[in-house]
Amino acid sequence: MSARQTAPGKLTLVGLGPGDARFLTAEAQAALANADTLYGYGPYLDRVPPRPGQSRHPSDNREERARATAALAHAAEGQNVAIVSGGDPGVFAMAAAVCEAVDAGPPSWRSLDVAIVPGITAMLAVAARMGAPLGQDFCAVSLSDNLKPWPLIERRLDAAAGAGFVIAIYNPVSAARPWQLGAAFERLRPHLPPTTPVIFGRAVGRSDEHVAVTTFDAADPAVADMATLVIVGCAQTRIIERAGRTPLVYTPRSPSEANK
C-alpha cells in the first residue's frame, strides 16, 4: 500500500483485442472506465466509447515512442492514464515502447504504477477461426523492418522454418513495405513442402473479417494487407475438408502424428 501512497500517478496499457467489444476483457473494460486520460492510435481510440470528463490524445501509428513519453509525463503529474493497443499491448505494440521510455527516462518514472492489461492477440483470434494451427510449437515474427534490419528477419525466418515452427506473421505489408511478404515466402520456400497450409486472416473480429486457407505453392502475398495476419504451417499442419463447412486446419500435438 505504501508504494501506492507515494506513486505520483498510474499508467495502464490496455489490450483491446483484435476487433469489436466482444473481445474486450472485463479487466480491460474496467481499466478504460477508470482512466482520466486515454492515449493511442486514433482508430483504436475510436473503438472506446466516449465518457464525459475523460480526455483523449490520438496519435499516428508510427509515433509509439513519443506517445509513450507523453503518456508517462502525463501520469507523472498524478493522472490515471491509459494507453490502448489493438490485440495485446505486449505483442509488437506499446508495452515495450513504454518500458523503453521508463528505462531511458528520469528516475521519477520508476515510481509510477505501471500496469499491463492483456488482450487477445491477432494470431490467437485468427487461429481460433480455423481450428488449431498453433497446436504444436509456434513463433511470431513481425515483418516490419522499421525497427530491425531485413537480414535479421530473414535469419529468423530461416531458423524458425528450419526448426519446424509454425510461424505467425504480423505486419506482413504496408504502403511503405510492399515487398516483404513475397520475400519472406521465398525465404521459407526451401524449408516447406508445397502443400503446407497457409492461413490469411484479415480484420478478424470486425465487420469486414475474411479468413481463408490455401497451400504454400498457391499462396499469393498480394492478398495480404496491413490488417492481415498470416499463419504459415509446418510440415505436419493439415487441412480437414468438410462437406458444407469451412475446413479445419490443425497442427497435431506430436510431430510423430505426421507419420500415421
Residue selected from 91, 114, 160, 234 as contacting ligand SAH according to rule CB under 6 A: 91
Q: Which is nearer to ligand SAH, 9 or 205 (CB)?
A: 205
Buried b (16+ CB within 10 A) or exposed e, 175-196: eebeebbbebbebbeebbeeeb
The CB-nearest residue to ligand SAH is 87
Spell out where 119-244 has E strands. Answer: 131-132, 138-142, 166-170, 197-202, 210-215, 228-232, 238-242
If one asks whether residue 133 binds ligand SAH (CB under 6 A), the answer comes out as no
Residue selected from 12, 37, 79, 85 as contacting ligand SAH according to rule CB under 6 A: 85
Q: Which is nearer to ligand SAH, 40 or 172 (CB)?
A: 172
User: Could you tell me if 185 and 231 are in contact, meaning their C-beta atoms sit under 8 angstroms apart?
Assistant: no
Q: Which is nearer to ligand SAH, 40 or 205 (CB)?
A: 205
Q: What minimum distance in Å lies between the beta carbon of 251 and ligand SAH?
A: 19
Spell out where the chain has E strands. Answer: 10-15, 37-41, 55-59, 80-85, 113-117, 131-132, 138-142, 166-170, 197-202, 210-215, 228-232, 238-242, 245-250
Distance CA 236, CA 250 (A): 9
Distance CA 76, CA 54 (A): 17
Query: Which residue from 235, 210, 231 is spatially nearest to 219, judged by alpha carbons?
Result: 231
Q: What minimum distance in Å lies between the beta carbon of 10 and ligand SAH?
A: 21
If one asks whether residue 87 binds ligand SAH (CB under 6 A), the answer comes out as yes
If one asks whether residue 180 binds ligand SAH (CB under 6 A), the answer comes out as no
User: Could you tell me if 15 and 120 are in contact, meaning their C-beta atoms sit under 8 angstroms apart?
Assistant: yes
Query: Taking contact as CB under 6 A, which single stretch among the options 31-39, 109-117, 130-138, 227-235 is the one that binds ligand SAH?
Result: 227-235
Residue selected from 28, 32, 81, 93 as contacting ligand SAH according to rule CB under 6 A: 93
Query: Taking contact as CB under 6 A, which single stretch among the options 87-95, 97-105, 215-223, 242-250 is the one that binds ligand SAH?
Result: 87-95
Distance CA 30, CA 259 (A): 48
Q: Which is nearer to ligand SAH, 122 or 167 (CB)?
A: 122
In angstroms, what CA-CA distances link 84 with 64, 81, 98, 185, 187? 11, 10, 12, 32, 34
Task: Give the binding-site size for ligand SAH (rule: CB under 6 A).
Answer: 25
Q: What minimum distance in Å lies between the beta carbon of 46 and ligand SAH?
A: 14
Q: What minimum distance in Å lies between the beta carbon of 202 and ligand SAH?
A: 6
Q: What minimum distance in Å lies between the beta carbon of 231 and ligand SAH?
A: 10
Q: Which residues bind ligand SAH (CB under 6 A)?
A: 18-19, 85-88, 91-93, 121-122, 126, 170-172, 201-206, 226-229
